[in-house]
Chain A
């Protein structure tokens, strides 16, 4: 069992608030998945972006189903995710994000690391499915084990070194929902990517 730096966990929680990350606690991955699916169920269906002028008229919100994806889960975990989502009327995906560029309701991912002092989640995303899912979705829910949280940015140096020595990789630091302050310096969320970022902290 990996050790948990309790101080790092507390710092992470404290730093998450000012960058509008919602933190929840979960006993395990299944509970995090259930939380994510539940959060998606409670929200309004996402707004679709018409991708070209001659596209078929947008379906009404009532006629559509919510799109939920989980691109970086293992086969076993995805099966569980699918099972939990059954009966909610969601369209569930692991890949094929390019067919859903007009809108995805929720993306669920598992984190590869974290930095407490900046409330940063590290996500390996060599796969474009992972990158697209976590940018197109209106809500991104990340499952992060408490033992993965390191205190400072320099504490993840070895981990990054190992990732980047592997060969071609694409690694993301994500520290909040997509934001801009480009108009009159007014902070606005969801300019291109998620409007919400939720992090489920898992014991262990």
Chain B
């Protein structure tokens, strides 16, 4: 549970996690295994189709939640259940304590429920004098240690067997062996006693079916069945978002949830409870059953059109499983109660701004979560929206508003960048890296060499370049430079112009273009994001260009996927959509549109490894093209985890250098293990990060943009 009161405190907490070597190793192993297992378990299934169905069904159910609740209540009451609805966490806790008191319940057992964690029901029950025991093994371990879950499905993933043995030794008053099967036996023994003697069982619900008044819970351990069977009273806690119309919806959730959560075809136990089942000790032979539906901000979120899709979440935890930041920090620093990308979001909506403020900054926007989400939620987009709201609600940090103002004003921005090349002279030592920047500018940035600003930006070279280009071509291409290439790596653009022109394109560079706007969007500067988008759309006259090509994966995916959304409320929406259809990244353009292949290059024996930029492989779904091009011009050497983020993330690497640096080292370890001498990628941001890292590590790998590599090998 991230609890930092300030950004500095959050950085301190992050450092603690980074120093935990067990955590590092456990999460590394898990991240790699999960991806492979997930692929296998979805092998015979149309995963995208299933995810789309879940999304659609949830989107249709959400506006009907009142109707579904009324139907559920009527059906469940017919079957002997007391159904309640509460607005807040406090109301939920009061009600549950009252149910315990009214029924004379003192000892309580619980099956895992994120909603119960959300409302902190244990604290309330304990304050009311009850004895509460978790029965899910992981939950029980962390309860004994007074910790919160560090993963939604595997709450104790951060703990070693040795730590668990210590905890169990303390609990049982006997020294326990750290052998895992023995530890599991200890839990079986200790918890069986609690099952046998509890007065009340609390569970969650993975779904609540309106049509038949049924709740369903999925567990692997079977503790859910025991919790809902042994005690004479059963209280189920569910968010109102768990309501679905019918059994088919529930089956669909069962189909996706365990597959996405733990790469299982199904959870070992699924318990379907329609009404109160038999209980042989109660006078009427029926279990006393209550279902408490919790709102706690959900109705408001459902009406929030930009963020309501967060309520599609089925709590599989996959967004944490693939998050490179989670992999480094674990759930205690990458969540409050809810963990991972969905945790960043739900903390803001369920647990308030003060708990979300720092957390929500800790997304590197690599889109790995969006790619695996069981309900197709665009998690990074919602996180960016929340940042924008925080800026509106709390005002802007000075640095961010300065940058926003500068980026909105192209001339000012470019003048500053030009000025930068003079200002940096004392610090570059004549190399292409900044060498001697005063440390106040370099806090935490020592892990990579930062590039110097180019002596002449591309825009100042264009007039001369354009003079020698042919006037005609089979395709008219507008080159979008992006800031990094325009001002830092103009040679990458020159290489691209060489390739494009040689293959029959008429290339132009509209001089009014500016920053794509992604950095200001990431900082939550809404107005600046709109204005930069409008400027760029206006710079590329649709009558003059067949394609808009950019060498920056982030610019490409942002312009293609987000411009229409950024300008959704403006008169420019249609133009934004048209603009987006013409945007192409360099690799897929030269491979798919120009058809470049082996015949176009002088193939060398140069061994080349590849880093897949997040915004190319996930943002645009471009995966085969750059690898095909590398094979056409050199020897492609595969390396592990090519599609994991390099740690750049634009402003992220400045905000969280300690995390960025770890991601970079891991990335370079993987790439160097390929044995290649050259690394190519197709994003200048990644080049900046990777080349800067290699410079510090002794340049085992030469780093190039794929355009430079292809230009060198051009036949």
Contact = CB atoms under 8 A, between A and B. Distances in A.
Q: Do A and B come from one complex?
A: yes
Interface of A: 15, 19, 49-52, 95, 98, 101-102, 117-120, 125-129, 131-132, 135, 153-154, 156-157, 160-161, 163-165, 167-186, 188, 190-194
Given A191-B188, A193-B225, A98 B269 contact: no
Nearest to B187: A191
Given A180-B137, A183-B180, A161 B268 contact: no
Contacts of B262: 181
Interface string B350-365: 0000000000000000
A191 B184 contact: yes
Contact of B230 (A15, A125, A132, A184): A132
B269 A174 contact: yes
10 contacts: A102-B192, A157-B251, A164-B214, A167-B79, A170-B278, A172-B270, A175-B266, A175-B269, A179-B268, A192-B188
B527 interface: no
A15 B247 CA distance: 24
Given A179-B268, A192-B188, A153 B247 contact: no
Interface string B176-200: 0000110110011101110111000
Nearest to B164: A183
A135 B222 contact: yes
A168 B80 contact: yes
Given A101-B192, A131-B225, A135-B222, A185 B157 contact: yes
Contacts of B247: 157, 160-161, 164
A178 B221 contact: yes
A177 B274 contact: no
B273 A170 contact: yes
Interface centre among B160, B196, B274 (most CB of A within 10 A): B274
B269 A182 contact: no
Given A157-B247, A188-B184, A182 B266 contact: no
A164 B78 CA distance: 12
B269 A172 contact: yes
Interface string B193-222: 101110000000000010010100000111
Given A120-B266, A164-B212, A178-B268, A184 B160 contact: yes
A113 B384 CA distance: 47
Interface in B120-166: 135-138, 141, 154-157, 159-161, 164
Interface of B: 26, 29-30, 33, 78-80, 135-138, 141, 154-157, 159-161, 164, 180-181, 183-184, 187-189, 191-193, 195-197, 209, 212, 214, 220-223, 225-226, 228-230, 247-248, 251, 254-255, 262, 264-281, 286-287
Contacts of B228: 170
Contacts of A157: 247-248, 251
A128 B279 contact: yes
Contacts of A156: 251
A191 B280 contact: no
Nearest to B223: A192
Contacts of B255: 153
Nearest to A167: B79
Nearest to B182: A188
Nearest to A134: B225
B161 A183 contact: yes
A168 B248 contact: no
Given A131-B225, A132-B230, A170-B271, A182 B154 contact: yes
Given A171-B272, A191-B221, A192-B222, A180 B184 contact: yes
Nearest to A18: B265
Interface centre among A164, A167, A175 (most CB of B within 10 A): A164
Contacts of A117: 265
B266 A131 contact: no
Contacts of A95: 280
Enumerate the 5 nearest inter-chain pairs by beta-carbon distance, A residue then B residue, closest first.
Answer: A168-B275, A182-B138, A193-B222, A170-B277, A173-B270
Contact of B267 (A164, A175, A184, A185): A175
A169 B275 contact: yes
Given A128-B280, A135-B226, A192-B135, A160 B272 contact: yes
Contacts of B156: 182-183
Given A131-B225, A167-B79, A176-B268, 12 more contacts: A98-B280, A120-B266, A128-B278, A153-B251, A168-B274, A169-B275, A170-B273, A180-B220, A184-B161, A191-B221, A191-B222, A193-B222
A173 B269 contact: yes
Nearest to B142: A182
Contacts of B141: 182-183
Nearest to B190: A49
Interface centre among A98, A167, A174, A182 (most CB of B within 10 A): A182
A165 B78 CA distance: 11
Nearest to B196: A101
A71 to B, nearest CB: 11
A179 B155 CA distance: 15
Contacts of B184: 180, 183, 188, 190-191
Contacts of B192: 49, 51, 101-102, 192
B180 A186 contact: yes
A139 B685 CA distance: 58
A129 B277 CA distance: 11
B188 A190 contact: yes
Contact of A180 (B33, B221, B279, B286): B221
A52 B189 CA distance: 11
A135 B214 CA distance: 21
A199 B124 CA distance: 44
B180 A188 contact: yes
A179 B220 contact: yes
A168 B79 contact: yes
A172 B225 contact: yes
B257 to A, nearest CB: 12
Contacts of A102: 192, 196
Given A164-B247, A190-B184, A191-B187, A178 B220 contact: yes
Interface centre among B209, B220, B279, B280 (most CB of A within 10 A): B220
Nearest to B193: A51
